[in-house]
């Protein structure tokens, strides 16, 4: 395998990339149960946002008179019910995906908005494959902090995989390579938003990540494709 010249690490979002997306459908369910309309603005103000800020936006948008704490608790109860009916869990292609990245010589970190216990539960025996897990709830979307404070690398050296276009925007502004992995829901806006943003690689499945593609991403990074303007 060709040695990478620029990329040194991959930062991978847990929910929606390594683990099936259960966030989007639950948010949509709650919005519609309270008589709201699920649209692009909801995704923009809720996805990859601080939990308190996201809840406050939804309460205002839906005109609900309840506390942020109660609404967050309602979300998690609804999520548990949704998973019991629809399932969730580890992406079946995640193992091969991680194999490709590791064999390319990349360091691996995982991140997401839930506590470390979520990472350990969902990834189980695969959790040790990562250097660490970073809970980004307090500094969304977390791109700068992961690059600067966790990996101690240059932005061009860290390849992000995420299902939310807002993270792609943050990565581009910093100069980090980014691959989009939008959820498959037909009613979602993330794939279209990533295409509008000009994300060069938007996946439909993790199996699309091959050694050859990692090499191409490294070549783009080496040429300064993601250099902020």
Q: What is the CATH number of the domain that holds 143?
A: 3.40.50.1000
Instruction: Provide the 10 A C-beta neighbour count for residue 6.
Output: 17
Radius of gyration of the chain (CA): 17
Instruction: Decide if 1 is inside a domain.
Output: no
Tens-digit pLDDT string for the chain (229 aa): 568 999 999 999 999 999 999 999 999 999 999 999 999 999 999 999 999 999 999 999 999 999 999 999 999 999 999 999 998 899 999 999 999 999 999 999 999 999 999 999 999 989 999 999 999 999 999 999 999 999 999 999 999 999 999 999 999 999 999 999 999 999 999 999 999 999 999 999 999 999 999 999 999 999 999 888 6
165: left (phi over 0), alpha (psi -120 to 50) or beta: alpha
Q: Looking at the structure, tell me whether residues 137 and 210 fall in a common domain.
A: yes
Domain boundary among 32, 59, 86: 86
Instruction: Decide if 48 is inside a domain.
Output: yes
Q: Looking at the structure, tell me whether residues 187 and 138 fall in a common domain.
A: yes
Q: Looking at the structure, tell me whether residues 27 and 17 fall in a common domain.
A: no
Residue 40's φ and ψ, nearest 5 degrees, are -60, -35
| CATH at 80 | 1.10.150
Strands (E), 65-219: 107-112, 133-135, 158-162, 178-180
* Residue 143 host element (H or E): helix 143-145
Residue 39 CA to residue 59 CA, distance in Å, equals 15
Question: Residue 229 has what pLDDT?
Answer: 63
Sign of CA dihedral 82, 121, 183, 91: negative
Q: Looking at the structure, tell me whether residues 141 and 101 fall in a common domain.
A: yes
Instruction: Identify the domain containing residue 31 by its residue range.
Output: 23-86
Question: Residue 202 has what pLDDT?
Answer: 97
Question: Residue 227 has what pLDDT?
Answer: 86
Question: Residue 228 has what pLDDT?
Answer: 81
CB 136 within 8 A of CB 40: no
Q: Looking at the structure, tell me whether residues 40 and 68 fall in a common domain.
A: yes
Global pTM reads: 0.96
Q: Looking at the structure, tell me whether residues 71 and 125 fall in a common domain.
A: no
Question: Residue 1 has what pLDDT?
Answer: 54
Beta bridge partners of 10: 108, 159
The count of domains in the chain is: 2
Domain boundary among 69, 86, 103: 86
Question: Residue 3 has what pLDDT?
Answer: 87
Q: Looking at the structure, tell me whether residues 67 and 157 fall in a common domain.
A: no
Instruction: Decide if 128 is inside a domain.
Output: yes
Instruction: Decide if 228 is inside a domain.
Output: no
Q: Looking at the structure, tell me whether residues 69 and 99 fall in a common domain.
A: no
CB 118 within 8 A of CB 137: no
Strands (E), 152-220: 158-162, 178-180
Beta bridge partners of 108: 10
SS3 85: helix
Strands (E), 131-217: 133-135, 158-162, 178-180
Q: Looking at the structure, tell me whether residues 78 and 180 fall in a common domain.
A: no
CB 12 within 8 A of CB 93: no
Q: Looking at the structure, tell me whether residues 120 and 191 fall in a common domain.
A: yes
Residue 2 CA to residue 41 CA, distance in Å, equals 42
Q: Looking at the structure, tell me whether residues 122 and 69 fall in a common domain.
A: no
Q: Looking at the structure, tell me whether residues 210 and 138 fall in a common domain.
A: yes
Six-digit token pair at 220? 């783009």
């Amino acid at each position: 395998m060709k040695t990478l010249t620029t990329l040194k690490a991959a930062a991978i979002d847990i929910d929606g990339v390594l683990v099936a997306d259960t966030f989007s459908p639950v948010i949509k369910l709650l919005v519609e149960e309270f008589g709201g309309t699920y649209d692009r603005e909801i995704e923009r103000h809720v996805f990859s946002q601080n939990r308190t800020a996201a809840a406050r936006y939804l309460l205002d948008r839906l005109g609900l008179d309840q506390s942020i704490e109660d609404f967050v608790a309602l979300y998690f109860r609804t999520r548990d019910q949704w998973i019991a009916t629809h399932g969730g869990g580890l992406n079946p292609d995640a193992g091969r995906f991680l194999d490709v990245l590791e064999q390319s010589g990349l360091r691996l970190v995982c991140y997401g908005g839930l506590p470390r216990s979520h990472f350990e539960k969902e990834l189980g025996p695969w959790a040790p494959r990562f250097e660490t897990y970073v809970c980004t709830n307090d500094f969304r979307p977390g791109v700068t902090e992961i690059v600067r404070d966790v990996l101690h690398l240059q932005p061009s050296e860290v390849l992000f995989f995420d299902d939310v276009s807002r993270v792609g925007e943050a990565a581009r502004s910093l100069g980090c390579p980014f691959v989009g992995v939008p959820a498959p829901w037909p009613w979602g806006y993330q794939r279209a938003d990533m295409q509008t943003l000009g994300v060069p690689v938007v996946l439909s499945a993790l199996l699309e990540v091959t050694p050859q593609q990692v090499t191409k991403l490294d070549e783009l990074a080496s040429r300064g494709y993601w250099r902020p303007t």
